[in-house]
Amino acid sequence: MFQERLKKLRKEKGYSQKVLAARLGVSQQAVGKWETGRSSPDPATLARLAALLESSVDSLLGIGAVEQPSAVQRFFGGYEESPIPVVGTVRAGYGALAFEEDYGVEYARVKDPSNYFYLVVKGDSMEPRIQDGDLALVHRQPTLENGDLGVMVFGEGEGTLKKFIQRGNAVILQPFNPRYEAKVIRGEELDQLFIAGKVVETKAKW
């Protein structure tokens, strides 16, 4: 089991729980919980843990070479953490979407990382639910369902994060903050509306 292998390797390396915790930047209690099976490290910490103990993630998890491609998924019951680009601005131009202001990467566990991006939320139109500076994880897609939270670009402006509401032949971009008015788009104006994607998760300020 993972906890037994962790304890054995730690002792072989001559690390106390306290020293190992300090090397990883976690609390001694966290290491103690891993070794008693009460909790598990996240994928990034697990990778650093394996490197510190001069082991592989697979052997630390006790997973043989046959199962190697899905070792982390099997342990965590989901997808591996992948780097997702963080952008500050989304614009539409020449029929495609352009992403500007590179803020590096943030990690997320998603099925197809190339279809996602993080957007830094600007302004307070989505308060109190989403704050200025928060990160929104967006799945790139050209359509939205009624009621979805999406990132949309209207005309030559910047991308805006709003609730997407379809009413008859009109589209309403609805903010959460009651101090802001909804944007109603209808008729020929709809040709100027570009959907960048659907917001699947938001994170508090980094």
Angle, alpha carbons 130-132-135 (nearest 5°): 65
Q: Render the burial of 96-133: b for 16+ CB within 10 Å, e for the rest.
A: ebebeeeeeebebebeebeebbbbbbbeebbbeebeee
Of 7, 162, 203, 205, the active-site residue reads: 162
CB atoms closer than 10 angstroms to residue 30: 18
Query: Has 162 been annotated as catalytic?
Result: yes
The amino acid that residue 119 corresponds to is: L
The residue among 88, 38, 41 whose CA lies nearest residue 60 is 41
Of 125, 163, 198, 203, the active-site residue reads: 125
- Answer whether the bond into residue 178 is a cis peptide, omega within 30°: no
Distances (CA, A) of 65 to 13, 55, 58, 59, 121: 24, 14, 8, 9, 42
Tokens for 191?
Answer: 């040709």
Residue positions annotated with a catalytic role = 125, 162
